[in-house]
Structure 1
Amino acid sequence: MKFNEIASQDWTELKPYLDTCLLPVTGLTGMEDPMHVTKALEQLRDVMETIEIPYKGRVVTYPALHYIADMGTNNQVNDIVRHLKKSGFRYIIIVTLYEEALNWKSDDIDLLIVVDQEQWVQQAEVIKSGISKHVQQLWYSA
């Protein structure tokens, strides 16, 4: 469920059920050609649907962080995640195709899903299954 699909007056009532925030990080630098941007956005959308569709009613998808700079990206993501936790989300899931995210450090990110674009093309179903298992483990291990 996208954050803008929830009417402002419904947030308080739904808050106990919407405990997980999905934050997509596109990882664009602004130097990509339009074809690369289109491909990246489509793949990120496909990865996110692996979580959004089966877990609608529990997961809220926030607007994507599209453009990042190599310097300070980890801090920027951590600041956003801390704010999301303070706003009431129990779990924060970051989904990205940005391989540098593997180096991010954060105690507040509950699940970091970094998908290799080439592997996605070749093994999408296997990756989708793995993502679903990780999300379920996150909820059931708490």
Structure 2
Amino acid sequence: MKFSEITEKDWTDLQPYLDTCLLPVTGLGGGEQPWEAGDALESLRDVLDVLEIPYKGRVVTYPALHYCTPEDTDREYVERTCGQLRKAGFTYVVVVTAHPEIGAWQLQNADLIVHISPEALRYPGQEAKKEIGERIEQLWFSKKSEEIR
């Protein structure tokens, strides 16, 4: 679900089920030509589709951080944002990006960083989609396993 589809009235009932927040990070720096910005947004949309569609009812997609580059200050901004989302009540915070440098970040407040290159999404067999699905399900399963012990 998108954040904008959830009303204040509905959130109390939905919150136990929507335990995972997707935080899209585009990685624009401001110097892109219009078509480059469009390509970046389309790539991010394609990566989000890998998680939003099959896991609707479990994930909430928050507004994207568009102008956020691989610089250290921007990484700190994403780290703080992830921490705030966790404080807002999400059990899992997943950063989603099509930007390769951002995809390589290590963030303490994010449970997972999902990065798929646009090229990987175009290959037959959809190996990238399968791998991302396995990673997010493993995240959910490992947390449940810890709770059972």
Q: Same fold (TM over 0.5)?
A: yes
Letter in 2 for 1:31: G
RMSD (CA atoms): 1.6
Report the more deviating stretch, 100-109 or 51-60.
Answer: 100-109
| Counterpart in the other structure of 2:65 | 65
Q: Percent identity?
A: 47
Letter in 2 for 1:41: L
After TM superposition, list the pairs within 5 Å mapping 1:1-142 onto structure 2.
1-69=1-69, 70-122=71-123, 125-142=126-143
Contact kept in structure 1, 2:121 and 2:128, CA below 8 Å: yes
Contact kept in structure 2, 1:74 and 1:105, CA below 8 Å: no
- Provide the secondary structure at the position in 2 that maps to 1:82: helix
Contact kept in structure 2, 1:19 and 1:89, CA below 8 Å: yes
Q: 1:40 to 1:16 in 2, by over 3 A?
A: same
Report the more deviating stretch, 44-53 or 108-117.
Answer: 108-117
For 1:50 and 1:103, the matched residues in 2 are separated by: 19
Cα distance per residue 1:4-31 (max 9 Å; x no partner): 1011111112111110000000000111
Letter in 2 for 1:65: L
Select the structure that is richer in strand.
Answer: 1
For 1:86 and 1:101, the matched residues in 2 are separated by: 23
For 1:43 and 1:52, the matched residues in 2 are separated by: 14
For 1:103 and 1:131, the matched residues in 2 are separated by: 15
- Provide the secondary structure at the position in 2 that maps to 1:120: helix
Question: Given the two structures, how large is their TM-score scaled by the length of structure 2?
Answer: 0.88
For 1:45 and 1:73, the matched residues in 2 are separated by: 21
Structure 2 unaligned blocks of 5 or more: 144-149
Q: What is the Cα deviation at residue 81 of structure 1?
A: 0.3
Task: State the aligned residue count.
Answer: 142
Cα distance per residue 1:77-117 (max 9 Å; x no partner): 01000000000000011111222224423222111012223
Contact kept in structure 1, 2:47 and 2:115, CA below 8 Å: no
Report the more deviating stretch, 56-65 or 122-131.
Answer: 122-131
Question: Given the two structures, how large is their TM-score scaled by the length of structure 1?
Answer: 0.92
Structure 1 unaligned blocks of 5 or more: none
Q: What is the Cα deviation at residue 134 of structure 1?
A: 0.7
